[in-house]
Structure 1
Amino acid sequence: MEFSSPYPNKINWQSLSKHQRLQSLSQIESSAPPSYKSNTIKEELVLQYVRVFERQYVELFQERERLALVVRNEYGVKKFISTFIKPTLLPYAELYDSHAITQFLHNYLTYEPLPSPHQLPSIICSPTITLTHQKGDSFDLSILYCSLLRGAGYEAYVCIGRASGKVARAERLYCPEQIRDDDDDYIQYESFKDANGGTAASADDVGANGAAAQQQNDGTASVATATTKKKSKYSLKKRMRLESEFDQMQKDKEDQVAGENGQNEQNTDDSSDQYIHAWILVLPNARSMAPPTPHPPGVPITTNPTSTPHVPLPADQPYFIETSTGEQKPITDTDYKQIEAVFNHQNYWVNMQENVPVAQTDFDLYNLDNWEYIFVSEGSDDENEGLGASLKQPTENDDGNGAPTAADTVESGEHDTQVLDLPTSWVGRITLTKEQFFSKYPGKNKRIQYMDATIQLYTPYSRDDCLTKSITYFDKDAPSKKLSEHLFYENREDKLIRRSLYNASVSVDDTSPPVQRSVKHEWFAPGRRKGSSIEALKEVIQVKSEKNEYRFYWDARLDGLEKRIELFHPSTSFYPRKIVLTFRGRTDFLSYRSVTYDMNTQNTASGNEHPTFKSMEERSVLKMSEKFERDSSKIADEDVAKRTFYLNEGRMRLLYHYGPDKITHAVREYTKRGDMSIDIVDPFQARPKLSDAISEYKELLNAEKNCEANIRSANVEMKSILETRQKDEQNVKYVTTIYDTLLNQPTPEEIEELKRKERERLEKLKRKDVLGSLYPKEGIKSEEQAREIFKKCLRNMRKRLLERAKILEARLTHERNQINRRRTAYQKTQEGSERNEEEFVKFWEDTMFRMGIIRKRVERNKIESKKEYAQLQEELLNDDRLAPFLQRERKKFFSQKESLETDSMHSPSRLAVSTRR
């Protein structure tokens, strides 16, 4: 049984209250199944059974609150509350883990507080209606949460009790989501390699939480790591931590007293801050302790840098799920004051642990000392189980000996040998279409407001700039002052996944006033290309009037470029005073290259061109430097560590690596005037020969030219990257996967074009190949070959047409001969009977009729033959295989055809006469 929503899609349910939504339901003709509007015999029996339990409970515990056992659904029909739950596993791999389910429902649904916070709701909606409205109170949402969690295999229950006003009103003063801005926690290229089957750890595994999760998932990881690491013989021994036993005893006593005081304060809380509320209880089972499901194949991995990572609670401990926020909370959370009852789709349990804090509640639901359940499992041997097993206390209906009356005996079901089980849920099938699943939010967007932040969520592909999430943080002391803004993107063709804008005041020193500092930081996913080359841009950091930093996926580039840093002078931000390039993984061991420009050069950049790269070509270079990593194949005195070119001074300086156990290194300096200075560290090392020094000087001159050319090439590439980025921002394009059938649906124009092509394909299949076996396997190579095939096809067609004409002429000749022979025979017997004359006349008429038909066929065949011949000739000339070689024939044929059509338009009678001829 599948539920179809009776509501038109144009109704905006988010703007209506629950009362208004129920009123609109009663006014609209509903197509809901009959189970929504009536009860079966078994459901009526269950309601009678539950009312007996409720009556006994009220008589015995008059001071306790009323239980939510029998409630009305959206159609006003009374139902047992456990039958509202419909365990359902939705056909989406992403909705299989508890955290994914709760996050999706929290985003997809809107929470509304109860209209009367100290009273149970009079009407509870079914999960199908809640999913259609995308809005509900804590009871509506909890039933839907429980249905999906139960369907995914979790042992979930709906808790009914009291919570603080902060929880009931879903008040969250400060944003719990904190953006991580440290460089190590930004998206790492190794995490993408790990997702594709590599061995590198993800970014979350680097942190403390990730390390703990890694150790929990694989207990042997830490052991393997410990055994592989070599212990240094110079490592210091850890000191023993000395602790006083007396101090520890005093601390334990203080903690015990503080705990008792806190418990007393919790028990004496103001009842005005306790609101009726419903939430989810998840007990540990095999499903909750299973590892998270892997990412489904074919679904794009979200590459946005994560915010505060989700830290799952211990799987072997029960925990709560708050339906108003979608958060997992421990059972020790003090916002939950009291639990009256829990239920699922099979039973209903009443909490008999009075005056016990929620944190100390025993959740063994089959312990009759702590919980009372209504329905007995079939085949139970305990005669005291079931309806009021622990409620058997003396009441007004009992006699002096405590024996129940006959009515109580019948009501309690003692003489009933059959066990009443709970009927299946009356709720229809819970369905979620692909459009609903991918929409994610009500109206495809959702806004969450805090005192210090604003979070705006958008459905993927719903905005032109592919924005899916934005977080804006404000100053707590001045809420109107914006501190930072973080924008997250998905599925962009330019691979942009995040942009962060920071605005803060920075104090340079104690005497000067603070300076306003504006920072823009962008992140890109791997895969940025420029033509056939890989650009590999990873991050862009722009600090206004200070520096621009560009980071790259160095192992995706041929030159191994890792960073490009442009430093600006405080007096001007038109062009950088220094550019620094860092490299990794190069075979020439180059790790650093920098260039310093002359700041006295006039800037002549025009307004339409990028001032940075326009002015670089016109400015003089003061200094260029290159640094190299250690090459183990060379000795230290011959392995260059840094070489610097002072272009304005005309000198070059070489610094070599430090040798083992050395505190000094070799230095060589050359000038273009011919001077040379060589410092040798090792006194036993021979000084280089003059010829070697001259050769090294020439190599340095070539290295200087190459360094300057490489810097110029890097500037040109950076200019191209910035121009591409500017075009990308002006025209944002999105990408889809082949698995996305919703976004890859063709437009009406594309559908019509596909239909047209299909019709043409079918027509070509119906038509016979005009060339047939005459077309050579190797194809047509020359004009003579094409003309020969063309003439041969026409000859074959002419031959077939002549054969058909001969057949018609032969039939006409045969009829003539027949009538001639019959006429000769009749003339010989003219004095015959009247019967012979009648037969001859009838034969004559029939023969002449057939001859007339044959003559018409002959005339029609002449006309059709001409048309077929001309049609074949046109098809041959239009054939793609012959047309390139028969241009002259094509021109002649179509010119004659055009002239004939023109003559037919001016003289139709002439055409008719020619046709008759």
Structure 2
Amino acid sequence: MEMEDVSASEKLLPESYRSNSPEEIRLLAIAENFQRQYSHLCPDRKPLLLCPVNECGVKKFVSTSLRPPSTIHCELFEWQGCASFVADFLSLVPLDPPVELPKVLSSPNAVLQSQKATCFEYATLLCSLLVGEDYDAYCVSGYAVKEMCLLDQSLQECPLLDPEIKAVEDVTPEQKDQDDKYSVKLQMELKSRFLAEQEKKKREAEAALLEKQKRQEEKDQQLADPLRGLRVHCWVLVLSGCRDVQENFFIDPLTGISYPTNSDNFLGIESVWNNLNYYVNMQDCSNGCADMMFDLDDLKTWEPVLFGASSKKQLIQEVLKRKEAKLMGKGNLVQEDVPKVLEMPRSWVSSIAISAEALKNRWPGGKKVIRYKQAQLERFATSKRLYGVVKRLTKYKDQDCTEVAMVKEWYQDRSDFLEEKEVDNVNEITTERFRRGRKRHLLFFRVKSLTVGTEVEMHFSSARVDDLVRRVLSPKEFIELYEGRSDFLQYRHVYFEKEIQLLSENSRNEEAPILKVVERFHRNCSKPANEDVAERVFLISEKLIELTYHLTEDRLIPSKISFIKPLDSEKGSAQEFSLDMISTFQVDLSEKPFTAVTLHKMLVELMEVEEKVIHQIMRSVKEMRDIVTLREKENKEMKLWNRAAALVRSRKRKKGNGELKNILRKYLSEEIDEDQDVKKEGLNPYFDIETEEKVKIIQEQYMKDIAEVEKTQECLKMKLHELRKTSGAAPPAALRRHKNPS
């Protein structure tokens, strides 16, 4: 029964799969003759992979198995995208036995359909894609280390764990004090540059020695491979000269990673081939591939099967010569007769087609797991994405991967705009990153557990009205950073009397008294420096207000003013005012000092500002509590976007939105897009809750306007009716104009 199914499936394949053309038969004869001569001249070397059978059991020359496709997908325009797709889309079938060449080499179409392939079928598909994108690419048959042949990446560092990528630095008062431009700069310490360079070289040498010892220990831990140098592997060689490739390099098709040609992972090369010719390596590989030359036109180092056939390099040179001759006006000259040689026949493989669905759901079974050194990376297809997870990286503390140290997840199409989430179990830190367009313009959210309480940090986009960029709340401190404010405020630091809990259930009823508020301002060039406040401090518990002005030119100390609030300041007045409550320091003694009236006015204004600042701080704390509560709710009620469904719903509601759009044009004085309802569905990343509230206000105003118009119409009708009764004549033209006031 199985044989009948196989034969039926073979009948559906093109004729080129089931038979050979005369050119292919001639090429097979040449290949067999070449194999006999090669075995006779090089008896110590293994046979070459020249004519394996395809999925129909028909012998085919390996070069004819390459079929350069023409793709329309932008992801496959570069070699990185092609290598990544092949590595993700296929699952490895190891060679059995691992020291012998495969007897079957299926077509790229069959491989794409089954999503299972040997390393040779991996390389054939990848090389076909690269040649189709005009790369000078070749399949390489040779020998590699065990880990590469078996796709074992457990000894490699995960590429997503980059030590150079640092987390966002914390904002602490100590750091701010160090960066304060008014702090006294320390005297430069005199040091020898020579000694510093020697110390640096010594540290680098020690680090290199430690790294070498670490690698040696890892190698010693590995079991010695008895088949080292004998394991057969196939990969891809990309030569320089095309597509701005400057240097030759290898690509491992199993992982999609590029390597230099002198990499220790590759132990030797038997042959290389592309869709134009097949070349046998005649160089010594006792030192691996480090000393090899890849000039395929050099007959001393590479022996071609089809002698005289055109190579990629020769074709490029011929095209350039023809262009040059055409420019010089020699295009009609008769070319010299060149003896004809056997060129590579046309590929027997049907056109390779990669669908957009295959690119989207590229992992076999909807999921792919890669194990690295003390880490594991999971990738998910669209149909297998639980809670919108695209990929998950798990880092472990030990080599056996038993204790989790950190979990990082990447998301897509979530209703809460979440893109990344990292849970650090060692430091007890949870970090979330959002894309633009979220409510309250939140971009970054981090919760860190401290010995006492927690620290909450938030970053915001520049779309906020108050120009808030960053906010950090520790148990007894609160920091806000601003950018681009009209009042030049850049920094606010608040000290509380007791701890503030955002994550507790009773946190909303708690109000922590404020002890101190420190505000810093950028320089306002429209004011003199001695009138432009640089720092404003409200010592609420001590009833003090301190002002520090910006430095003037050629001065080391700024001017300062200190106010003592009167006893009845809590009532909002400053009637009990005296000069004893003021302490001033003016750097420039030639300037006229402040008068008592001016100082009294400044004190009253500062007391009003203090009340506003306290109110703003309470609002900020409340906003942070609301954000924390909202995040807890969103994590419990997570939803994914369905863009197609949102568009369908929006089109159904378009008919009833004409009047609302007219009112929006009237009150917002701008053209409303025809897809405003689509934006409200969440398709527009910049639609937030503020716009929604504005729409509600406009709707209410619209209803009020309609009611007033109807009331006016009723009044006019009543007056018109009375006029008709009294006069019995037609109404005047002025009233006729108001007959339809709408």
TM-score clears 0.5: yes
Per the TM alignment, residue 243 of structure 1 is displaced from its structure 2 partner at its CA by 12
**Secondary structure of residue in 2 paired with 1:59:** helix
Equivalent residue, structure 2, for 1:670:
563
Alignment of 1:637 with 2:637, yes or no, is: no
> What whole-Å deviation, never above 9, does each CA across 1:443-466 have from its counterpart, x for those lacking one?
221111234001010124642421
Deviation at 1:166, TM superposition (A): 2.0
Match of 2:353 in 1: 431
Preserved contact between residue 82 and residue 344 of structure 1 (Cα < 8 Å): yes
Q: What's the CA shift for 1:594?
A: 2.7
CA shift, 1:657, in A, is 2.5
Residue number among 404, 429, 433 corresponding to 1:519 in the alignment: 429
Query: What pairs up with 1:536-551 in 2 under 5 angstroms?
Result: 536-545=441-450, 546-551=453-458
Q: CA deviation at 1:242?
A: 13
1:277 paired residue number: 233
CA contact (8 A) 1:162 1:336 kept: yes
Structure 2 partner of 1:838: none
The CA distance in 1 between the partners of 2:593 and 2:164, in whole Å, is 49
Q: 1:26 to 1:123 in 2, by over 3 A?
A: farther
What is the CA deviation profile of residues 817-848 of structure 1, one whole-angstrom value per residue up to 9, with x for unaligned ones? xxxxxxxxxxxxxxxxxxxxxxxxxxxxxxxx
For the pair 1:725 / 2:631, whether they are aligned, the reply is yes
Alignment of 1:156-555 (within 5 A): 156-172=137-153, 173-180=155-162, 272-287=228-243, 289=244, 315-355=245-285, 357-377=288-308, 419-460=341-382, 462-476=384-398, 479-504=401-426, 517-528=427-438, 530=439, 535-545=440-450, 546-555=453-462
Give the C-alpha shift of residue 676 in structure 1: 2.4
Q: Which moved more, 1:168-177 or 1:338-347?
A: 168-177
2:306–2:342 contact (8 Å) kept in structure 1: yes
Q: TM-score, normalised by structure 1?
A: 0.57
User: Which residue in 1 is equivalent to 2:588?
Assistant: 682
Matched, 1:110 2:74: no
Return the match for 1:120 from 92, 95, 101.
Answer: 101
Kindly state the Cα deviation for residue 283 of structure 1 after the two structures are TM-superposed.
0.5
**Contact 1:106 / 1:325 at 8 angstroms: preserved in 2?**
yes
Cα separation, 2, equivalents of 1:551 and 1:122: 60
Q: Distance in 1 between matches of 2:5 and 2:468?
A: 64
Which one of 701, 708, 716 corresponds to residue 622 of structure 2?
Answer: 716
Q: How many residues align?
A: 573
Aligned counterpart, 1:563 = 470
Structure 1 residue 519, shift from structure 2 partner: 0.4
2:488 is aligned with 1:589: yes
8 Å Cα contact 1:555/1:585 also seen in 2: no
d(CA) in 2 for partners of 1:239, 1:175: 36
CA contact (8 A) 1:362 1:370 kept: yes
Q: Which amino acid aligns with 1:338?
A: G
Deviations along 1:703-742, whole A, 9 cap, x unmatched? Answer: 11110121122233333333433343233334467xxxxx
Equivalent-residue separation in structure 1 for 2:497 and 2:520 (angstroms): 21
User: Which has the higher mean CA deviation after the structures are superposed, 706-715 or 337-346?
Assistant: 706-715
Q: Percent identical across equivalent pairs?
A: 29
Structure 1 partner of 2:543:
650
Distance 2:592 2:446 in 1: 49
Separation in structure 2 between the aligned mates of residue 116 and residue 584 of structure 1, nearest angstrom? 65
1:279 aligned partner, one-letter code: W
Q: Give the structure 2 partner of residue 84 of structure 1.
A: 65
> In the alignment, is the contact (CA less than 8 A) between 1:159 and 1:278 conserved in 2?
yes
Q: For 2:589 and 2:146, how far apart are their aligned partners in 1?
A: 83
Label 1:611 to 1:644 Cα distance change in 2 as closer, same or farther (>3 A).
farther
**Structure 2: distance between partners of 1:600 and 1:242:** 46
Q: What 5-or-longer segments of structure 1 have no aligned partner?
A: 1-19, 188-233, 245-250, 252-268, 290-314, 381-415, 505-516, 569-576, 738-742, 755-781, 784-917
Amino acid at match of 1:437: L
Contact 1:589 1:630 in 2 (8 A): yes
Between structure 1 and structure 2, the one with the greater Rg is 1
The answer to whether the Cα contact below 8 Å between 1:578 and 1:597 also exists between their aligned partners in 2 is yes
Matches within 5 A, 1:566-577: 566-568=473-475, 577=476
Gaps of 5+ in 2: 170-187, 199-204, 206-224, 312-337, 567-576, 655-712, 715-742
Q: CA deviation at 1:45?
A: 1.8
Q: Does 1:624 align with 2:530?
A: no
Is this contact kept in 2: 1:365–1:371, CA < 8 A? Answer: yes
> Which letter does structure 2 place at the counterpart of 1:427?
V
1:149 aligns with 2:48: no
Q: Which amino acid is the alignment partner of residue 15 of structure 2?
A: P
Residues 53 and 548 of structure 1: CA distance in aligned 2, closer, same or farther (over 3 Å): same
Amino acid at match of 1:454: Q
For residue 36 of structure 1, report the CA deviation from its aligned partner.
1.6
Q: Is the 8 A contact 2:470 2:481 kept in 1?
A: yes
- The answer (yes or no) to whether the contact 1:142–1:323 under 8 Å persists in 2 is yes
Asked if the contact 1:466/1:491 (under 8 Å) is kept, the reply is yes
Cα separation, 1, equivalents of 2:63 and 2:116: 21
1:581: Cα distance to partner?
A: 1.0
TM-superposition CA deviations, 1:837-883 (whole Å, max 9, x none): xxxxxxxxxxxxxxxxxxxxxxxxxxxxxxxxxxxxxxxxxxxxxxx
Label 1:241 to 1:57 Cα distance change in 2 as closer, same or farther (>3 A).
farther
Seen in structure 2, the aligned counterparts of structure 1 residues 584 and 549 have a Cα distance that, compared at 3 Å, is: farther
How many angstroms does 1:181 deviate by? 7.2
Report if aligned partners of 2:138, 2:273 keep a CA contact under 8 Å in 1: yes
Q: C-alpha separation between the residues in 1 aligned to 2:228 and 2:242?
A: 40
Assess if the C-alpha contact under 8 Å between 2:267 and 2:285 holds in 1.
no
Closer/same/farther in 2, CA of residues 351 and 181 from structure 1, 3 Å limit:
closer
- Cα drift, residue 345 of structure 1: 1.2
Cα distance in 2 for partners of 1:316, 1:183 equals 28
Change beyond 3 A, Cα 1:692–1:162: same
The one-letter code matched in structure 2 to 1:520 is: T
**8 Å CA contact 1:502, 1:518 repeated in 2:** yes
8 Å CA contact 2:158–2:375 kept in 1: the answer is no
TM superposition shift of 1:701 = 0.9
Counterpart of 2:491, as a letter, is: Y
**Given the superposition, is the C-alpha separation of residues 33 and 752 from structure 1 closer, same or farther in structure 2, using an over 3 Å criterion?**
farther
In 1, Cα distance between equivalents of 2:150 and 2:619: 61
2:28 alignment counterpart: 47
Partner of 1:93: 74
For residues 474 and 243 of structure 1, do their structure 2 counterparts lie closer, same or farther at Cα, with a shift above 3 Å needed? closer
Residue 365 of structure 1 deviates from its aligned partner by 0.8
Aligned-partner SS, 2:479: strand
In 2, the alpha carbon distance for the partners of 1:582 and 1:649 equals 25
Instruction: Using structure 2 for the length normalisation, give the TM-score.
Output: 0.70
Matches for 1:655-804 after TM superposition, within 5 Å: 655-673=548-566, 674=577, 675-735=581-641
In 2 relative to 1, CA 378–446 (structure 1 residues): closer, same or farther, beyond 3 Å?
closer
Q: How many angstroms apart in 2 are the aligned matches of 1:451 and 1:23?
A: 47
Counterpart-to-counterpart distance in 2, 1:186 and 1:132: 45
CA gap 1:127/1:697 in 2 versus in 1, 3 angstroms: same
CA RMSD, aligned part only? 3.9
CA distance in 2 between partners of 1:462 and 1:468 (Å): 9
Whole-Å separation in 2 of the counterparts to 1:242 and 1:726 = 52
Instruction: Give runs of aligned pairs for residues 832-911 of structure 1, distance below 5 A.
Output: none
User: Deviation per CA, 1:401-439, whole angstroms, max 9, x where unpaired?
Assistant: xxxxxxxxxxxxxxx975322211111111122222210
CA distance in 2, matches of 1:670, 1:40: 101
Residues 476 and 30 from structure 1, CA distance in 2 versus in 1: closer, same or farther, beyond 3 angstroms? farther
